[in-house]
């Protein structure tokens, strides 16, 4: 069993919630954040009932509130004693065609998925550098590989986040800090259940188990699951626009 600690943002539902259960089963102490405290408290109670030896700390955090982020992560660091792994996972998706959907919706996606994620990483790095070690894990998406219709802002946010994390990996190369970027395909969560098509979709429990394995192996980058998205992802980059437009 592990005595490591992991902080997961966006832990109230989806892959963040499922990953919390998997890491608790593997002996990790948990720091869980999201905007909805009632869901976090319920999750905390359920996990501690199943795994009474696990420390579970919950904090409300809106990743777009940059000043709040630093204080929340510092509080979790104090409560847990250390943060070995920070999973930057909070995100939203709002679909619609550019120029037809409200501009505010597109900017909200960018503000949460990119700006908020960048702020989380920056706050986490301060803690990692103070304690002398750490592992950053970023939830990107297969949407980072190609701009897709009705998801321009989402694709841009994930592509930007992937590139940002590549730069962070270079910046921390000589430090005791690991960087993992994960690109999930379709995992059965609320964020994508309204889509007409979800090719190669997998259950959230399976997705979380794959996530945990990749995190513990400290892979630099991977799709989730690895197959078939490790083949489909690069293919998306070279397909003609005429084919992408039909998707």
Q: Which of the residues are catalytic? A: 154
What's the rounded Cα separation, in Å, for the pair 186 and 158? 14
Alpha-carbon span 2 to 225, nearest angstrom: 24
State the Cα angle at 122 between 116 and 124, rounded to 5°.
100
CB hemisphere CA count around 192 (13 angstroms)? 22
Give the span between the Cα atoms of 126 and 74, in whole angstroms.
Answer: 10
Q: Give the integer Cα–Cα distance in Å for 53 and 48.
A: 7
Kindly give the interhelix angle for 152-171 and 117-131, rounded to the nearest 10 degrees: 20
Q: Are 65 and 119 in contact (CB under 8 A)?
A: no
């Amino acid at each position: 069993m592990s005595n490591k600690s992991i902080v997961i943002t966006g832990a109230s539902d989806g892959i963040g919630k499922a990953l919390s259960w998997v890491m608790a089963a593997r002996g990790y102490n948990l720091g869980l954040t999201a905007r909805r405290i009632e869901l976090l408290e319920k999750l905390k109670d359920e996990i501690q009932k199943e795994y009474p030896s696990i420390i579970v700390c919950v904090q409300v955090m809106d990743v777009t509130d940059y000043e709040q982020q630093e204080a929340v992560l510092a509080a979790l660091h104090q409560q847990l004693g250390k943060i070995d792994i920070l999973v930057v996972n909070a995100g939203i998706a709002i679909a619609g065609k550019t120029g037809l959907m409200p501009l505010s919706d597109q900017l909200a996606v960018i503000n949460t998925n990119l700006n908020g994620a960048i702020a989380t990483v920056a706050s986490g790095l301060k803690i990692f550098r103070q304690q002398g070690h750490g592992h950053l894990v970023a939830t990107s998406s297969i949407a980072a590989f190609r701009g897709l219709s009705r998801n321009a802002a989402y694709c841009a946010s994930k592509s930007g986040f992937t590139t940002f994390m590549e730069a962070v990996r270079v910046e921390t190369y000589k430090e005791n800090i690991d960087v993992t970027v994960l690109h999930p395909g379709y995992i059965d969560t609320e964020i994508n259940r309204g889509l007409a098509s979800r090719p190669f979709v997998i259950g959230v429990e399976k997705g979380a188990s794959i996530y945990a394995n990749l995190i513990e192996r400290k892979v630099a980058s991977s799709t989730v699951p690895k197959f078939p998205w490790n083949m489909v992802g690069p293919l998306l980059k070279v397909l003609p626009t005429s084919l992408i437009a039909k998707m």
